[in-house]
Structure 1
Amino acid sequence: MNVRSRLRWDAVPPATGAAVMATGIISVGFHLAGFDALSVADLWIAGLLWLLLALAFTALLVGDRRGWTARAQTPPALTAVAATTVLGVRLDQLGWTTAAEALLAVAAVAWPVLLTSVLRHLGRRLPGSAFLICVATQGLAVLAATLAPHTADWLAWAALPVFALGLVLYGDALRRFDPGQLTAGAGDHWVAGGAMAISALAASKLLACGVWNGGAHTALRVVTLVLLGVALAWYAVLAVAELLRPRLRYDLRRWSTVFPLGMTAVASLSTSAAARVDRLDPLGRALLWVAAAVWLVVAVGALRRLRRGPGAAGATAAGGGAERAVSVPDD
């Protein structure tokens, strides 16, 4: 690979995966809410962005191993895993089980490599991107549990310890999270709530598998409702923080705001069906339209940035957050 080509792929920041995650989860939500035309449109956008991310990921790995290694040490690299699992969930909704299984395999291979690399370099007083260690892990649990009912029960059993590990990683990220990000973060501070929302979604998918009976089913239902309650509490705290300290300028990390908004909506819709709590359905639908509106605002900001130039400022902002995530090592 020549230098010019390498630089072109290097201009695609790892945080681009958050745009795939955001668009993909809103596509999933629109499908659950019965808006299939909007869902398919978002799926096309998410699919094309995922292909761009996959090509950049591969090209950098082949052409600049040192650069790839440096990126793999930062939490935004884990958006590649999370984005792959979200896309897999949407493909499964279309009945494309084989494609979803292939994406699960890709994510399962990349996950331990990237997670280990990120954990080895994770520091303290971090932005919200630290919670991606949980998000990527729970993404695997979500996709495996989603596939389990019409493929193999062992996927549900495999998803259960991954789900539990995701909760442990959430606790680790929480102790490293800088609370000041609630009023100073550039967008990725919302992942603190999004990670809890995807944990609730994973629990709801496990609950819906039909593998658990008796006390295990009851316990999982309680866990699902508790996790969703915590996710909704995070949503309220983060929304109030935005009102108290508005941050209206476009930043690439705002895609990491859209994803938690959409994930909380989908977790509410999924929990409503799995736990049979009907009142969560209208809540999920309302939150889905909020997420879609914010997606549109962020997309317009991204297009305006692209018209001014190939994302130098946005890439710098995302890179700055990634660098900060590894700059203060644990004692």
Structure 2
Amino acid sequence: MLKKSIQTLPSASFALVMATGIIATASQLQGFTFVSTVLFWLNNLFFFVLLLLFIARLALFFPTVTAELRLHEKGTGFLTIIASSCILGTEYAQAKSAYGIATMFWVFAGVLWVVLVYTFLAGTILKRQKPSPETGMNGSWLLLIVCTQSVSILGGVLSSHTLLQTDAVLCISLLAFLLGVMLYFMLIAIDLYRLLFFPMKPEEAVPSYWINMGAAAITALSGITLSKGIQGHAVFGDLYSFVKAMSIMFWAMGSFWIPVILIMDIWRYAAKKWPLKYEAAFWSLVFPLGMYTVCSWRMEEVLPLPFLQSIAKVFIYIAWAAWLVTFIGMCVQLAKQVFNPSVSNEN
């Protein structure tokens, strides 16, 4: 049974770590120290258990993993490993001041970014049979932005607290931010084309479309984090106003997506009676809620308007509720797999 569970481990499993980590950060920012501490240590457990399972899957089922990495529908799920490493590293840097550990997470994530992103792109570009945007495109493609901006954020946090060359770390973070901005513009256009010009079936209105909002929010947070490092910098200081403007624009873009995706969810579960049951993709819904909470709280650093943190004070409760419901659903699913081995993992 364990071997079967390893074989069918969802590609986006590390979204659990992403969601837990960002909500821990949101809790810390708003002074909920106990909640933040509990989620931080839980997140360490989640990360290392999932990492062991992923390594086991890679060793035992290498052809399956590489084949899945080349799939338009699922390949981007592996990029959650990159984002989760950076989010956990950011937790170590900001909550524990453990900059050495955070630097190791950043380097690990950077290596994974090169390997996974280019392997995915090469696999999808070069394969002969390809799906149409109708079946091959969904919100999980925006994980290309999420993983890139997570590298930028952790680099921005570490730029003045690492043994690595400060300007080099800041430069990599700035380049990652700019790349993430361009990727968002390109991919969101394709995503909108799919949504607007192809029929939507209930099974296709998946929770991963929430990443449309999450990718915008993490881009805004990346800009906010980076702006603190480049302000007044001899080389990058001229870009401060641009980065600040991009942060505001992407926060607005993230806010725009919330009603759109809510309408899709209401249509799927209420109008079309799609069964509401746990699937691993629900962590892709929880993460954007936590990211929007953190982004709104930090936005006041570049746009000093008190109502922004008021928004975050509301969203923290929504994010907690979403995390708790999804976590309970995951535990129930795991219990069913233990007592009824015929139940398989949801991808």
Shorter chain as denominator, the TM-score bin is 0.7 to 0.9
**1:241-267, Cα deviation, whole Å (9 max, x unpaired):** 323433533222111000011111111
Gaps of 5+ in 1: 319-331
Alignment: residue pair count: 314
The amino acid that maps onto 2:241 is: T
- What does residue 283 of structure 2 align with? 255
Inter-CA distance 290–53: structure 2 relative to 1 (3 Å threshold): same
1:16 to 10, 13, 17: 13
- What does residue 325 of structure 1 align with? none
How far apart in 1 are the matches of 2:297 and 2:247? 12
Is the Cα contact below 8 Å between 1:25 and 1:263 reproduced in 2?
Answer: yes
- TM-score norm. by structure 1 comes to 0.87
Instruction: Choose 153-162 or 30-39, whichever is displaced more.
Output: 153-162
Instruction: Choose 57-66 or 197-206, whichever is displaced more.
Output: 57-66
Bigger Rg, structure 1 or 2:
2
Report the Cα offset of residue 71 of structure 1.
Answer: 3.4
- What does residue 149 of structure 1 align with? 160
Percent identity over the alignment is 27
RMSD: 2.3
How far apart in 1 are the matches of 2:30 and 2:180? 27
The amino acid that maps onto 1:169 is: L
**1:112-142, Cα deviation, whole Å (9 max, x unpaired):** 1111122234453312111111111111111
Q: 1:188-227 residue pairs with structure 2 within 5 A?
A: 188-212=208-232, 215-227=238-250
User: Is 2:185 aligned against 1:171?
Assistant: yes
How far apart in 2 are the matches of 1:47 and 1:312? 30
Is the Cα contact below 8 Å between 1:251 and 1:314 reproduced in 2?
Answer: no
How far apart in 1 are the matches of 2:264 and 2:110? 35
- What does residue 116 of structure 1 align with? 118
The amino acid that maps onto 2:250 is: L
Report the Cα offset of residue 286 of structure 1.
Answer: 1.4
Report the Cα offset of residue 46 of structure 1.
Answer: 1.5
How far apart in 1 are the matches of 2:190 and 2:122? 14
1:290 to 318, 327, 345: 318
- What does residue 253 of structure 2 align with? 230
**1:67-98, Cα deviation, whole Å (9 max, x unpaired):** 23223331101111011111111111111111
User: Is 2:292 aligned against 1:264?
Assistant: yes
How far apart in 2 are the matches of 1:295 and 1:149? 33
The amino acid that maps onto 2:118 is: T
Inter-CA distance 20–181: structure 2 relative to 1 (3 Å threshold): farther
How far apart in 1 are the matches of 2:104 and 2:35? 25
Inter-CA distance 82–47: structure 2 relative to 1 (3 Å threshold): same
Is the Cα contact below 8 Å between 1:75 and 1:130 reproduced in 2?
Answer: yes
How far apart in 2 are the matches of 1:314 and 1:162? 37
User: Is 2:104 aligned against 1:95?
Assistant: no
Q: 1:29-68 residue pairs with structure 2 within 5 A?
A: 29-68=26-65
Is the Cα contact below 8 Å between 1:133 and 1:173 reproduced in 2?
Answer: no
Report the Cα offset of residue 269 of structure 1.
Answer: 1.3
**1:144-181, Cα deviation, whole Å (9 max, x unpaired):** 11111333243222111111111222233224423166
Report the Cα offset of residue 107 of structure 1.
Answer: 0.4
- TM-score norm. by structure 2 comes to 0.83
Is the Cα contact below 8 Å between 1:10 and 1:56 reproduced in 2?
Answer: no
How far apart in 1 are the matches of 2:120 and 2:329? 29
Report the Cα offset of residue 182 of structure 1.
Answer: 9.6
User: Is 2:265 aligned against 1:242?
Assistant: yes
Inter-CA distance 278–208: structure 2 relative to 1 (3 Å threshold): farther
Inter-CA distance 8–241: structure 2 relative to 1 (3 Å threshold): closer
Helix, strand or coil at the partner of 1:91: helix
Inter-CA distance 159–258: structure 2 relative to 1 (3 Å threshold): same
The amino acid that maps onto 2:77 is: P
Is the Cα contact below 8 Å between 1:12 and 1:53 reproduced in 2?
Answer: no
Is the Cα contact below 8 Å between 2:19 and 2:283 reproduced in 1?
Answer: yes
Inter-CA distance 236–218: structure 2 relative to 1 (3 Å threshold): same
How far apart in 2 are the matches of 1:89 and 1:155? 14
Gaps of 5+ in 2: 125-130
The amino acid that maps onto 1:137 is: T
2:306 to 274, 278, 295: 278
